[in-house]
């Protein structure tokens, strides 16, 4: 972790919106409709997001595409189903004026079949000036979609045509688009879609070019598997998606096995953690995976799950609607249930699914978790140290080098549990007072021992006084 506990882009709390779904856009682009009101409608959500406490906005794909946004056809124009370039410029400025950072999706591994260079190829074939733009293009075969040539699609999907990453002309087109986004819209960063498919030197060059334009420009990559240090580090990306911690988080509740989460946290962020000098992007769900409320077997576990998300190491993110406890599962080879219109996502967690200790509905509890994170640098930048692990209980310490210390202790069990933390506690005197930032209750540790009652499906966040 950083030696100081100051604020930077890595200390932000993100709110993730998939615009085409959130705004209720048509599933397919007719390429002739007038600009829609979607992006303009997001302006009305600024007060709600300020109240929630987030201070960074991640907008999924919003440039002209055929269907879901990841099949780009024009990197220089906003998808007409959402609005126009002027709307995006207004939106970014409005959020930034309220203290938000704004990042967009950068989809650089593949394009849609309506992309101008692919249409030119389909028309002119070998005579096309863009015949070197696409990966493993071969005029001696045919594609599954009937083209008189073969090519590679992303993950076997031939509607997503893989770009030829080494091509200098491809790179200049993409880098030119990014420069345009920074200079025209003033964005603060990018999330790189399918970063694990991008060439290392492409990401290096992208990082260099972006930071030449905007020194603090932030790059985060979508990476599901592998050693995150291959993507995040000096001269490359600033962060990557932490899918390892995402999986450990929900399955530790479902399997009544906090040893899994404990193992991941120690491996990543403990004293010998391999990622302790990186800030990875953490989340409970997103536009590609089932909603947390549909994954957890016990709905009351949503409360301590989000409590952990905002107290563990990382850069936390909320996917729109999940702060309400809405559900959504993949189905019939479609992700549409994960990406509903905001107006249709007004399902709230029933009161009977709240923990007994939680007096607030889920949005209110999340506001408290976010407020506590923002007010306590130890939860943003502090070192991580495990204090106790059992099947249904977990406790850890976050401590800044300036001396601030916070203990987080969670109980996923169905009944109240008292735990005893022995050793590994920072002690200023022989008797140290700890205040629960959620309830206000006070506890005392003595000679490195702390006895702590934990309510069912709840947590304590204790600050050393």
CATH of domain 110-162: 3.90.400
Residue 305 to residue 355: CA distance in whole angstroms:
12
Instruction: Tell me the domain boundaries of the chain.
Output: 9-108+165-372, 110-162, 382-464
Between the CA of residue 199 and those of 226, 242, 278, what are the distances in Å? 15, 20, 21
Tokens standing for residue 271: 């004293």
CATH of domain 9-108+165-372: 3.20.20.80
Please list, in sequence order, all residues whose beta carbon lies within 8 angstroms of the beta carbon of residue 265, skipping any fewer than 6 positions away: 245, 248, 312, 313, 384, 386, 396
From the list 216, 275, 213, 211, the residue with the least C-alpha distance to 243 is 275
- Tell me which H or E stretch contains 386: strand 383-389
Q: Which fold has domain 382-464?
A: Immunoglobulin-like (2.60.40)
pLDDT at 425: 87
- 384: which strand partners? 398
Q: What is the dihedral of CA 35, 38, 43, 45, to 10 degrees?
A: 170
Between the CA of residue 150 and those of 116, 130, 135, what are the distances in Å? 18, 15, 10
pLDDT at 6: 36
Sign, CA torsion 348/354/358/359: positive
Residue 174 to residue 169: CA distance in whole angstroms:
9
Residue 241 to residue 166: CA distance in whole angstroms:
25
pLDDT at 356: 72
Enter the DSSP assignment of 12: -
pLDDT at 125: 97
Residue 60 to residue 319: CA distance in whole angstroms:
11
Tokens standing for residue 314: 């990382």
Enter the DSSP assignment of 203: H
Name the strands in the sheet holding 157-162, side by side, starting at the edge strand that comes first in the sequence: 110-112, 157-162, 153-154
From the list 57, 165, 145, 35, the residue with the least C-alpha distance to 101 is 57
b/e burial code for range 90-129 (CB count within 10 A of at least 16 → b):
bbbeebeeeebbbbbbbbbbbbbbbbebbebbeeeeeebe
Residue 308 to residue 104: CA distance in whole angstroms:
26
Q: What is the DSSP string of 329-361?
A: --BTTB-GGGS--GGG------GGGS-TT--S-
Q: What is the pTM of this model?
A: 0.96
Task: Note the Cα 275 to chain centre separation in Å.
Answer: 17
Between the CA of residue 426 and those of 1, 106, 267, 404, what are the distances in Å? 18, 43, 22, 10
The tens place of each residue's pLDDT in the chain, 465 residues long, gives: 333 343 588 899 999 999 999 999 999 999 999 999 999 999 999 999 999 999 999 999 999 999 999 999 999 999 999 999 999 999 999 999 999 999 999 999 999 999 999 999 999 999 999 999 999 999 999 999 999 999 999 999 999 999 999 999 999 999 999 999 999 999 999 999 999 999 999 999 999 999 999 999 999 999 999 999 999 999 999 999 999 999 999 999 999 999 999 999 999 999 999 999 999 999 999 999 999 999 999 999 999 999 999 999 999 999 999 999 999 999 888 999 999 999 866 555 555 577 877 778 999 999 999 999 999 999 999 999 999 999 999 999 999 988 899 999 999 999 999 999 998 788 655 789 999 999 999 999 988 899 999 999 999 999 999
Please list, in sequence order, all residues whose beta carbon lies within 8 angstroms of the beta carbon of residue 204, skipping any fewer than 6 positions away: 235, 236
383-389/393-399 β-pairing: antiparallel
Residue 143 exposure: Cα atoms within 13 Å on the Cβ side: 21
């Amino acid at each position: 972790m950083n030696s100081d506990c100051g604020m930077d882009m890595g200390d932000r709390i993100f709110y993730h919106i998939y615009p085409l779904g959130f705004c209720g856009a048509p599933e397919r682009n007719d390429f002739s409709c007038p600009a829609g009101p979607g992006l303009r409608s997001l302006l009305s959500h600024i007060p709600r997001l300020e109240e929630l406490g987030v201070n960074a906005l991640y907008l999924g794909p919003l440039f002209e595409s055929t269907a879901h946004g990841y099949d780009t056809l024009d990197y220089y124009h906003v998808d007409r189903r959402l609005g126009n370039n002027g709307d995006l410029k207004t939106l970014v400025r409005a959020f930034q004026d309220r203290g938000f950072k704004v990042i967009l999706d950068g989809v650089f591994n593949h394009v849609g079949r309506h992309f101008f260079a692919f249409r030119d190829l389909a028309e002119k074939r070998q005579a096309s000036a863009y015949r070197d733009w696409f990966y493993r293009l071969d005029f001696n075969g045919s594609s599954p979609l009937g083209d008189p040539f073969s090519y590679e699609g992303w993950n076997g999907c031939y509607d997503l045509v893989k770009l030829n990453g080494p091509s200098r002309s491809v790179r200049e087109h993409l880098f030119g688009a990014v420069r345009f986004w920074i200079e025209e819209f003033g964005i603060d960063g990018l999330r790189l879609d399918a970063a694990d498919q991008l060439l290392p030197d492409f990401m290096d060059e992208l990082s260099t070019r972006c930071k030449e334009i905007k020194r603090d420009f932030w790059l985060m990559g979508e990476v599901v598997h592998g050693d995150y240090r291959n993507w995040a580090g000096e001269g490359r990306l600033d962060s990557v998606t932490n899918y390892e911690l995402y999986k450990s988080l929900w399955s530790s509740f479902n399997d009544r096995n906090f040893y899994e989460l404990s193992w991941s946290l120690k491996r990543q962020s403990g004293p010998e953690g391999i990622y302790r000098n990186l800030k990875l992007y953490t989340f409970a769900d997103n536009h590609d995976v089932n909603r947390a409320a549909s994954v957890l077997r016990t709905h009351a576990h949503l409360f301590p799950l989000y409590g952990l998300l905002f107290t563990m190491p990382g850069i936390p993110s909320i996917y729109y609607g999940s702060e309400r406890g809405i559900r959504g599962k993949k189905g019939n080879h479609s992700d549409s249930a994960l990406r509903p219109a905001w107006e249709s996502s007004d399902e709230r967690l029933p009161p009977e699914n709240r923990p007994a200790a939680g007096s607030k509905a889920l949005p209110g509890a999340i506001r408290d978790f976010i407020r506590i994170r923002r007010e306590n640098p130890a939860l943003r930048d502090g070192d991580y140290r495990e204090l106790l692990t059992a099947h249904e209980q977990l406790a850890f310490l976050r401590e800044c080098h300036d001396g601030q210390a916070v203990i987080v202790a969670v109980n996923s069990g169905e009944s109240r549990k008292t735990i005893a933390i022995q050793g590994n506690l920072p002690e200023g005197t022989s008797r140290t007072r700890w205040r629960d930032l959620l309830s206000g209750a006070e506890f005392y540790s003595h000679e490195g021992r702390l006895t702590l009652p934990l309510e069912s499906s709840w947590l304590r966040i204790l600050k050393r006084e």
